Amino acid sequence: MLIPHPVVLRNLLDEYEAARTAEAASPADAAGQGRRVQDAAYTLCVLTSTRDVTLAVEAARRLLGTRTAAAPVESPLPVGAPTDVCA
């Protein structure tokens, strides 16, 4: 398995999280922010060899060493949102 460069992965994870925050903060611009979230989610899935954004975020954090094994994994998606955006 290829392992993404940590700087690239960190930047992408930061971009994904920033896009999610912007999407939540500005419902009026949800379409534009939604596309940004989808693009970042898709790229995270590709870089982490996953097909689910929740798993991609978890894998990215694990690869970066930013989450301990005991820490809970919070879903980056709102309740009821589709998790197959990477497919």
Cα 51 from Cα 42, distance rounded (Å): 8
State pLDDT tens for residues 5-62: 999 999 999 999 999 998 888 877 767 778 889 999 999 999 999 999 999 999 999 9
E runs forming strands in 1-87 = none
pTM value is 0.70
Read off the DSSP letter of residue 77: S
Residue for token digits 């497919």? 87
What tokens appear for 14 in the block?
Answer: 């930061």
